[in-house]
Structures are given as C-alpha cells and as structure tokens.
Chain A
Amino acid sequence: MAQIFHPSMNTFSKVTIFGSVFMIAGALWFFLTVERSSYVTQAKVVREQPVPFSHKHHVADLGIDCRYCHTSVEETAFAGIPPTKTCMTCHSQIHATAGMLEPVRESWRTGKSIEWVRVHDLPDFVYFNHSIHLKKGVACETCHGPVGEMALTWRENSLNMEWCLDCHRDPESNVRPREEVFTLDWHPKTEQAVLGARLVEDYDIQNLTNCSICHR
C-alpha cells in the first residue's frame, strides 16, 4: 500500500503539536498586552481640543489653583468643567483679540458652550466621587499626573479597574496630607510607608474593595 504521508510529516506534526503550546501562550500574552496598551486605554494620548488649552501655561507658569476652574471638586462627585465665563474673567482683557481664542469669544457671544473633548470618562456603571478622594488625601496629580507639564491634556492613567484597585488595595502608598492634595510635584518629607500608614489611620480610610463602593 502506498504511503499516505511524506516522511517529513512526522517532523511537521511534532513541531505543530509542540508549537501549539507556545502559540496559545503567545496569543494570550498578546491579548493581555494589547488590552493594557495605550492603543486601547488611550492613556498618554494627547487629545485635540476646540481651543488648544494648556494646563502647563495656566497651572505651572501662572500658578492658577485647580479649584479656580474646577470649582465643585471639593463638594461634589464631578470636578466641574468651567463655563466660558470663567475663561472670560481674564480673556476679556488678556489676549482679548487672539485668533486662537475666537471659539471662546464666540461661545461668550452666542451663549453656546464650548464642546471640549472629554479626556477622563469613566463608564456609567462606575460611581466615582472627587470630593471623597480629596478629603481622604488623594491628590489631583495622583490620578491626573503632572498636569503642570501638559501643553495639551492627556489622560495619565489607563482608568482600568486594576488601576483603581491598585490604590484601593494599597492606600498607604498613595495618600498624602489633605493640605497638599492640590500641590503639584509634591514629595513626602517623611517616608511614605510611615506617613501613609498614619494618614490611613487618621483619615479613617477603610473598606475600599467592596464591589458596591464603586458599582452601586
């Protein structure tokens, strides 16, 4: 009877069977990596905005406090996007004719809001509250990164659930004194492990990993 397969089939099938283990492991690695890449999470990706607003200029160069624009951050869940009026407090006088700011003036004339591109958008099934984070000593820059360096704003972190839980499972490494939450480029004077443990105690930070803390 004639042979059905060429002798090379022996090697081929062995390589295929052995190789499939690596193929599957590789595919798994690939998907887990892609899932965390900035291609999917949009972390560190600079967004185009209708007006090229620079946090670097306003925050680092001019030293305007976060709360000047994000007014509701200490009291409510939402930090607040400033109305055009806030822009115009200065820009009715400064750079009042700059072409770059025409959309702002147009908004001021027409009363129609500027449509900013949202950089940080959590899914609707996540309940997130800015005020409680500030009250428990989580600083702006802990989540939003070095805002003072952002000529155009990008999202510093992935906003993946694992990123949330990194801190919720280990608040000691991430909290700082309440007075310093709006400070940029802050470094602890004492060791973070000691300070963090004390703050967690003082601020009564507890029970952060219950599902319904965020999924209500």
Chain B
Amino acid sequence: MAKNETSDKPAQAPLIEPGHTYGSITDKISSVVTTRKTPISWFIGFAIAFSLLMVFLSSTAYLLMKGTGIWGINVPVSWGFAIINFVWWIGIGHAGTLISAILLLLRQEWRTSINRFAEAMTLFAVAAAGMFPLLHMGRPWLFYWLMPYPNTMAMWPQFRSPLVWDVFAVSTYATVSLLFWYVGLVPDFATLRDRVNNRGAKLVYGMLSMGWRGSAIHWYRYETAYLLLAGLATPLVVSVHTVVSFDFAMGVIPGWHATIFPPYFVAGAIYAGFAMVLTLSIPLRKVYGLEDFITMRHLQNMAKVMLATGLIVVYGYMMEIFTAWYSAGEFEEAMISNRFNGPYKWVFYSLLLCNAVAPQFIWFSKVQNSVIGIFIIAMFVNVGMWLERFIIVVTSLSQDFLPSSWDTYTGTIWDWATYAGTIGLFLTLMFLFLRLLPSISIFEMRTMVVEEDKGGKES
C-alpha cells in the first residue's frame, strides 16, 4: 500500500536519494563509526554535553548531602520539577517506540532511517526520566523498596497507588525498548565487526553481534523476534504514558482528576517525542552529511505527525476548559480561572503559544519545506511541553481547595541544575551512541535500495 502511494504521487520526495547501492550505504553509515578521525564538531558537542553531565553529578551529590530541601518543593507543591521533568522525559521517549514499533507494524517504510536513533533517544530519555523519581525519593539507595520482593518488613508496595504502577510501566518500557533496540542492532554489529580494524573493537562488536553470520536461518529468526518485540512494544506506547497520567488523574486535585488525561497525555508524549526526534535528526543529518538518508520527506512526515498530535493536545486543553465549565464544579472553575489569571498566567500563555500556536505554521508548505522552520517549531514544542507539565503540576497543587494552604512555587538553582544535568546525561549518551554505534540501521537501509528501485521502474 505504501508502495502504491509512492508511485501514485510522483511529487513525493524519495526516502533515499537516488544513486545509492548496498555498498555505498554501508560505507556511508558505518564510516561514521569506523573512522579514526572523529569530527571536531563531535568533540565540541560532547564537551558541552559532558560538562552538563558534571553539573548533574554535582547537583546530585549536593542533593544527597542536603536532602530534597535544596529543591523548591514544599507543602503544598511537593512535586515540582522532579515530576515535571520525569513526565517530560518519559514523553520524549515515546516517539522512539512509536516509530520503531507501530510504524513498523503499519509498514511505514520511511521509519527505517530514523528508527535506530529514535530508539536510542527513547532509552536515554527513559534513563534521564528515571533519575527524577529516584532522586525525589530522598533516599535513592532504597529504590528497591518499590519492588515487590520478600523483604524483612513483610511489606508489599501499595498496589493501589499509581506511583507503583509507574514503576512497573516504566521498567517494562525500559526493558522492552532496550531489547528491541539491541535485537535491531545485531546485524549491524556484525557489519561493524567485519569492518573495523582495531582488534579490541572487533572483539566488542563480535561479542555484541552474538555470532551473526547472516545465514537464512539467522534472518528468519531475526525477523520473527523483531516482529514479536514490535508487538510487545506497541501497547507500551499507549500504556506507559497512560499510567503516568494516572499519577495525576487518580488524585482528587482539581485539574488532575479528569478522564481525558490518559489520551491527552499519550498524544502529548508523541507530540513531544517527535519534536525531539526532529531536534536531534536535523543537526545530525547536517553534521554527518546524512541528507541522502534522512530526506526532506522524513522531516515533513515527522512534522505532520507532530501537527496531528499537537491538535489532539490542543483538543485536550479545550476539553479541560469545557469540562470545568460543564461540571459547574467551583473548584474546577477556579482552577481554570487560576490558569488564565493566576500567578502562573504567563507560563500558561507561553504554553499556549508554544503548543497551540507555533505548530500551526506546519500547515504552510513554505514552512514544511524549510529545515530551519521545522527545527524552530520543534524547539517551540520541546519548551511548550515542558511548560505544559509545569502548569499541570504547579497550578493545581499551589491552589487547591483550601485558600489557607495556598502557596506559590519556583524552582531553585538546584532544580534547574538537576534538570540541565539530565539534559547533559541524555546528550552525553547520545554523542557516545553516534560515535560508537551505527545511528541509522544499515541493513534496513539496504533493503530500501531494492524497493526504491522497483518503485522507480513502475512509475
């Protein structure tokens, strides 16, 4: 079906620039890893990312010394940045799973050149996300108390708490994403094993490729395993952020206790995720000259997904306002009026600008054809989705039912340092990934050559 679409619309850009062969694809992608000359831009980027990672290290060390009091959290806003950043990072991860699993099952071939690093992005985003609930616990070394195991306290976790569901949802998500990513990498590890000259690197890639020889039975097993994992990962795209939304929706706080939360959060997650994939892929293709593989069509498709999910999110905003009015509940109404007129109104207006207004420019073909235009909109969405979580967490908590318990909240320098630090963690991992692993699936791109050729002959 996808093939017909390609031939029916001759105007659509190809998924891979013409003139490529099996050899040229393998050379181009693997050379990023096998080259002895690391580009200077990589070093600059890595240095910045690593410095931020050190910021994370210091702020975490200080946190462990002093406790969570160094953050701005207090009663009534006891969640603050930790949960905002957690939801933000987890959301970002979702695009990776959507691209790798759902688009695979839907046979969207354009996913091929972006799935590998989108999956990497998922893993690293989950790693960054995981930091926040752990650190917010105050005694992160006791994290295993969240797991049901026969402990000497004879206690189970509180299974009625959505925070415990979170533990299972996120750890399952991380495990399946890792497996999916790894299984997809195996044939490429073998390619690298055969191409690197360094003995040590040969050994490492050889281990990781698990004796892959590319025989028919290997491919058969690989395809089966990959498809099964895709099937496993598909429900996770929806379930993980649904559970994250339950953290809020199960509470009785005005502005949280809403049935729209699960779909609204899932859409928001995919929205944020695609924005992040665009944010990463645009510089990546530029620096490594991968424009042949990540073409304009990829960027446009991602921008369109971003627009569509963005509209769902805006629908969510409208429903929140509608529900508050329709319910005639005074606390719900007060919550909405607080968003528009309260102490955080400028955050709320910025959120609307970033999430509701900015992506509308994707409707224009001029913007759609501009790499810079798409990049700017993606950046707006990255910021907007963070602001959205800020609004949800802070406005509802800071003014709940009792005016006597109201208080305002701002992040301290340590809140910001920890947040910037996890960006450093994410980017450091990303840079290492770009240098050490093929950031585009080599063997899947090779299959594209054949299919693009066929498409060409038919038209």
Interface residues, chain A, with chain B CB atoms under 8 Å away: 1, 4-5, 9-10, 13, 28, 32, 35-36, 158, 160-162, 165-166, 169
Contact = CB atoms under 8 A, between A and B. Distances in A.
A58 to B, nearest CB: 33
Contact of B154 (A9, A13, A166): A166
Given A4-B193, A10-B211, A13-B210, A162 B202 contact: no
Contacts of B193: 4
B153 A162 contact: yes
Contact of A161 (B150, B152, B207, B211): B152
A161 B154 CA distance: 7
The range of chain B's interface size is 10 to 19
B316 interface: no
Contacts of B151: 32, 35, 162
The 9 A-B pairs of least Cβ separation, nearest first, read A162-B154, A161-B153, A160-B152, A165-B154, A4-B206, A162-B152, A35-B152, A4-B202, A162-B153
B194 interface: yes
Contact of B194 (A1, A10, A13, A166): A1
A4 B150 CA distance: 44
Is chain B's interface secondary structure helix, strand, loop, or mixed overall?
Answer: loop
Contact of A5 (B149, B154, B194, B206): B206
B203 A160 contact: no
Interface string B145-160: 0000111111100000
Contacts of B149: 28, 32
Nearest to A159: B152
B138 to A, nearest CB: 14
Nearest to A9: B211
Interface in B191-250: 193-194, 202-203, 206-207, 210-211
Contacts of B202: 4
B175 to A, nearest CB: 14
A144 to B, nearest CB: 20
Nearest to B202: A4
29 contacts: A1-B194, A4-B193, A4-B202, A4-B203, A4-B206, A5-B206, A9-B211, A10-B211, A13-B207, A13-B211, A28-B149, A32-B149, A32-B150, A32-B151, A35-B151, A35-B152, A36-B152, A160-B153, A160-B154, A161-B153, A161-B154, A161-B155, A162-B151, A162-B152, A162-B153, A165-B154, A165-B155, A166-B154, A169-B154
Given A9-B211, A13-B210, A32-B149, 19 more contacts: A1-B194, A4-B202, A5-B206, A10-B211, A13-B211, A28-B149, A32-B150, A32-B151, A35-B151, A35-B152, A158-B152, A160-B154, A161-B153, A161-B155, A162-B152, A162-B153, A165-B153, A165-B155, A169-B154
